[in-house]
């Protein structure tokens, strides 16, 4: 199969969420002499962008997007070691630690955001639900995060978002991370009142906010 056909196969495998096909086509196109970075730029990134477009257009939904993201990741696991072996690194928009705050066990909004961030090129560390404020901060330190994102659906759990900001301030690390808050109980006014750096009404808005905050944090993708 020609390189052009293999690129088309990779793209289709990602949009359809077919893991085995993407692995086979990726290995074939590498054998044809295409560089790992070229595979990412010519096939994987356009494919995952297309998945994002289809999600916004309601042509596919969260399960399909998760399957596409897993397929994308499977191909990256083949390509990334090759790039690193050559002394390079894979571009990353930024690193986000996210979770639903203490006392709140709602996960679906947070799950959607995690996936949208991953497909947008962020490295995401999802801490799950009912996350203690200190756990957000310690994970952010451990992974060198740019952004801490805290979700809260319930009004009675909002204050746990403020706790994250407060822990950062108390530890003298407030300037080390951008803090985003969101979820059904939140508002722009609330975010401003606790000194958060960003707020968005929806997961889609949160991705744009993360891009802006990541850029403001001075993150430079290589």
Nearer of residues 56 and 142 to another protein, judged by Cβ: 56
Which of 172, 219, 218, 164 minimizes the C-alpha distance to 191? 164
d(CA 125, CA 129): 12
- # residues contacting another protein (CB under 8 A): 30
Residue 45's contacts (CB-CB under 8 Å, 6 or more residues apart) are none
Between CA 122 and CA 102 the distance in angstroms is 24
Shortest Cβ distance from residue 38 to another protein (Å)?
A: 32
Question: Residue 195 interacts with another protein (CB under 8 A)?
Answer: no
How remote is the C-alpha of 180 from its chain's centroid?
13
Question: Within positions 69 to 108, which residues make up the interface with another protein, using CB under 8 A?
Answer: 103-108
Task: In angstroms, give the least distance from the CB of 33 to another protein.
Answer: 36
Of 125, 173, 174, 118, give the one whose Cα is nearest residue 149.
Answer: 125
Cα gap 208→113, rounded to integer Å: 11
Q: Quick one: 46 or 103, whose CB is closer to another protein? A: 103
Q: Are the beta carbons of 128 and 158 closer than 8 angstroms?
A: no
Of 81, 86, 156, 173, the one binding another protein by CB under 8 A: 156
C-beta of residue 144 within 8 angstroms of C-beta of residue 171: no
Which range of residues in 21-29, 92-100, 152-160, 165-173 is near another protein by CB under 8 A?
152-160
Would you say 187 and 119 are in contact if contact means Cβ atoms under 8 Å apart?
A: no
Stretch that binds another protein, among 71-79, 87-95, 201-209, 214-222 (CB under 8 A): 201-209
Beta carbon of residue 89, minimum distance to another protein (angstroms, whole number): 29
Binding status of residue 109 toward another protein by CB under 8 A: yes
Query: Mask of contacts with another protein, 11-50, x by CB under 8 A?
Result: ----------------------------------------
Short-list 103, 127, 63, 118, CA closest to 185: 103
State yes or no: residue 131 binds another protein (CB under 8 A).
Answer: no
Structure token pair of residue 178:
């951008």
Q: Smaller CB distance to another protein: residue 22 or 112?
A: 112
Q: Which residues of this protein are in contact with another protein, per CB under 8 A?
A: 55-56, 58, 61-64, 66, 103-109, 111-112, 154-160, 184, 187, 201-204
């Amino acid at each position: 199969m020609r390189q052009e056909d293999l690129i088309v196969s990779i793209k289709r495998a990602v949009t359809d969420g077919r893991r085995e096909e993407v692995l086979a086509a990726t290995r074939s196109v590498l054998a044809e002499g295409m560089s790992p970075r070229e595979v990412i730029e010519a096939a994987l990134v356009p494919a995952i962008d297309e998945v994002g477009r289809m999600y916004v257009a309601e042509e596919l939904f969260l399960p399909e997007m998760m399957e596409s993201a897993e397929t994308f990741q499977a191909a990256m696991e083949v390509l990334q070691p090759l790039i690193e072996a050559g002394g390079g690194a894979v571009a990353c928009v930024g690193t986000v630690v996210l979770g639903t705050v203490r006392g709140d066990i709602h996960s679906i909004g947070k799950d959607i955001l995690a996936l949208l961030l991953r497909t947008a090129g962020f490295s995401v560390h999802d801490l799950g639900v009912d996350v203690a404020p200190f756990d957000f901060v310690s994970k952010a330190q451990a992974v060198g995060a740019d952004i801490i994102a805290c979700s809260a659906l319930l009004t009675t759990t909002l204050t746990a978002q403020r706790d994250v900001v407060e822990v950062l301030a108390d530890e003298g690390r407030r300037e080390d991370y951008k803090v985003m808050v969101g979820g059904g109980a939140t508002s722009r006014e609330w975010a401003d009142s606790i000194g958060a750096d960003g707020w968005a009404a929806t997961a889609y808005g949160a991705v744009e906010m993360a891009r802006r905050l990541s850029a403001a944090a001075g993150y430079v993708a290589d």
